[in-house]
């Protein structure tokens, strides 16, 4: 634990915010979002809880800012993964290229997946309007970048189709992540009764199947495959 002196300059305050965010990011590699408490975050940063609240209006505000950073980094990963669309490939091949890129890059960012799964039900519940505006504006920027990446691979979708696909895919990713990473009691139940394996959800195959159904339903039917 690091003990800080009072931050007096703008740069010192900015450094304090960075330290809080970095500590929260580390905690998220060790525990799920639900277990990240303001008390433990304050203890690790070396500040009183009231002092942490001088920089962020709540625990949720800290995690939303991390979510924005993680989302921006993931969008870059996705753009790099899909690359340039190859016009000689069929629509089906390009759709599979996009699905593989989405699932693969999300699987490599478990912290982002956990934050997405907790966003509406937890992280957006205890924040100020200012925090909400900052978060939603960052999300809108990422949304536009995601549309560009999707249309780059599948121009047949168009901007509106790509936007609808992204919005629904985000909901699917969060829900599937939650169900594929259950609490210890549910994991123990699966281990105790192998017959329950049929209803156990696994993130990558479940998300792949769901995105495939969603994407092929959104693609124009009159395009040659």
Contact 68/111 with Cβ under 8 angstroms? no
Same-domain pairing of 21 and 63 = no
- Chain centroid to Cα 29, Å, comes to 14
Same-domain pairing of 68 and 165 = yes
Same-domain pairing of 29 and 79 = no
Residue 108 lies in a domain: yes
Nearest partner of 147 among 82, 191, 199, judged by Cα: 82
Same-domain pairing of 175 and 79 = yes
With 0-12 / 13-18 / 19 or more C-beta atoms within 10 angstroms meaning exposed / middle / buried, residue 199 is: exposed
Nearest partner of 135 among 145, 124, 144, 126, judged by Cα: 124
Q: What pLDDT is attached to residue 223?
A: 52
196-209 pLDDT tens trace: 999 999 999 999 99
Q: To 10 degrees, what angle do helices 59-82 and 38-45 make?
A: 80
Cα distance between residue 113 and residue 70, in whole Å: 9
Same-domain pairing of 104 and 207 = yes
Q: What pLDDT is attached to residue 11?
A: 87
- Cα distances from 21 to residues 15, 26, 41, 48, 134, in angstroms, run 10, 9, 9, 15, 16
Q: What pLDDT is attached to residue 186?
A: 95
Q: What pLDDT is attached to residue 120?
A: 92
How many domains in the chain? 2
Domain hosting residue 20, numbered range: 1-55
Mark the ranges of the chain whose per-residue pLDDT is less than 50. 1-4, 224
- Which residues have a Cβ under 8 Å from the Cβ of 159 and sit 6 or more positions away? 147, 151
User: What are all long-range contacts of 99-104, with beta carbons under 8 Å and residues at least 24 apart?
Assistant: 99/208, 99/211, 99/212, 99/215, 100/208, 102/78, 102/169, 102/207, 102/211, 103/204, 103/207, 103/208, 103/211
Q: What pLDDT is attached to residue 221?
A: 66
CATH number at residue 194: 1.10.357.10
Same-domain pairing of 25 and 62 = no
Same-domain pairing of 101 and 201 = yes
Same-domain pairing of 186 and 93 = yes
């Amino acid at each position: 634990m690091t003990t800080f002196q009072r931050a007096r300059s703008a740069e010192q305050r900015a450094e304090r915010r960075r330290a809080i965010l970095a500590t929260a990011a580390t905690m998220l590699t060790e525990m799920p979002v639900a277990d990240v408490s303001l008390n433990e975050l304050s203890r690790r940063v070396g500040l009183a809880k009231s002092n942490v609240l001088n920089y962020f209006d709540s625990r949720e505000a800290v995690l939303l800012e991390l979510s924005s950073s993680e989302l921006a980094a993931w969008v870059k990963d996705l753009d790099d993964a899909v690359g340039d669309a190859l016009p000689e490939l069929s629509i089906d091949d390009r759709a599979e290229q996009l699905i593989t890129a989405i699932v693969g890059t999300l699987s490599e960012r478990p912290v982002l997946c956990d934050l997405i799964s907790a966003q509406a039900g937890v992280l957006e519940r205890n924040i100020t309007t200012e925090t909400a505006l900052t978060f939603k504006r960052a999300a809108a920027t990422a949304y536009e970048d995601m549309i560009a990446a999707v249309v780059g691979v599948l121009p047949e979708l168009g901007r509106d189709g790509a936007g609808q696909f992204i919005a629904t895919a985000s909901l699917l990713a969060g829900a599937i992540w939650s169900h594929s990473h259950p609490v210890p009691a549910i994991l123990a139940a699966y281990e105790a009764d192998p017959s329950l394996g049929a209803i156990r959800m696994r993130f990558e195959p479940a998300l792949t199947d769901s995105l495939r159904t969603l994407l092929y339903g959104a693609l124009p039917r009159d395009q040659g495959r």
